[in-house]
């Protein structure tokens, strides 16, 4: 008779399963990810993962939600740091870069792969919306406090695209020559922020 699992047992196994599933999915790609491989890598029977998740799609939604939430956690902590709106905005940008460099597996899971097919999972949708909001909240603050002028959503996406592009080029080894990652990021930030900064009368 199978042992009755406690809530702690279930949460612990789900966490280990999601960590391994994330690595397999990113390293081998969606076409090579399946429940049998996952079970084999965990050293359990082929049916064990089904005691914790309905199917592969539910696992993929879960691991993407985890990645989005970890991402949002870092950006929200940065936004909550004391300081002026520009200082908070800078902190969010640095948190974005730090996440990309230090949690590359989660970063790739968020940005390199499409959403799983089927009915959207509420947990995943909520996590993705939370991450997106965090990436533009600091820009709304900058506009509201008179540091930037323009549509905060548009400005947020422009700044995000510039930052993200440099980071992806770095992670893929496409920054050639002697270009320093952080000098390039600072220059992109300076140029883009200058384009939206409120000009003071001469």
- The pLDDT of residue 120 is 60
pLDDT bucket at 201, cuts 50 / 70 / 90: low
- The pLDDT of residue 125 is 86
The pTM for the full model equals 0.83
Identify the burial level of 69 via C-beta atoms within 10 angstroms of its C-beta, where 0-12 means exposed, 13-18 middle and 19 or more buried.
middle
Reported as a single tens digit per residue, the pLDDT across 25-79 is 888 888 888 889 889 988 888 888 888 888 888 888 888 899 999 999 999 999 9
- The pLDDT of residue 101 is 94
Question: What is residue 178's DSSP assignment?
Answer: T
* Cα separation, 171 vs 160, whole angstroms: 16
Reported as a single tens digit per residue, the pLDDT across 107-135 is 988 888 776 565 567 888 898 898 888 88
Q: Phi, psi (5° rounding) for residue 197?
A: -65, 145
- The pLDDT of residue 83 is 93
Task: Look up tokens 């200082």; give the residue.
Answer: 87
pLDDT bucket at 168, cuts 50 / 70 / 90: very high
- Share of residues in the chain with pLDDT > 70 (%): 93
Residue 148 pairs in a beta bridge with 197
């Amino acid at each position: 008779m199978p042992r009755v699992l406690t809530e702690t047992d279930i949460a612990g196994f789900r966490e280990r399963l999601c960590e391994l599933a994330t690595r397999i999915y990113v390293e081998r790609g969606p076409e090579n990810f399946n429940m049998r491989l996952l079970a084999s890598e965990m050293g359990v029977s082929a049916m064990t993962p089904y005691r914790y998740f309905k199917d592969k799609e539910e696992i993929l939604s879960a691991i993407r939600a985890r990645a989005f939430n970890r991402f949002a956690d870092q950006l929200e902590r940065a936004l909550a740091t004391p300081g002026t709106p520009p200082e908070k905005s800078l902190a969010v940008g640095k948190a974005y870069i730090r996440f990309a460099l230090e949690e590359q597996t989660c970063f790739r899971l968020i940005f390199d792969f499409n959403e799983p097919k089927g009915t959207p999972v509420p947990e995943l949708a909520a996590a993705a919306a939370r991450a997106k909001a965090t990436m533009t909240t600091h820009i709304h603050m900058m506009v509201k406090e008179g540091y930037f002028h323009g549509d905060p959503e548009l400005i947020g996406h422009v700044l995000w695209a510039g930052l993200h592009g440099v980071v992806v080029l770095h992670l893929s080894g496409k920054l050639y020559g002697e270009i320093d990652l952080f000098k390039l990021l600072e220059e992109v930030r300076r140029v883009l922020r200058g384009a939206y900064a409120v000009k003071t009368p001469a």
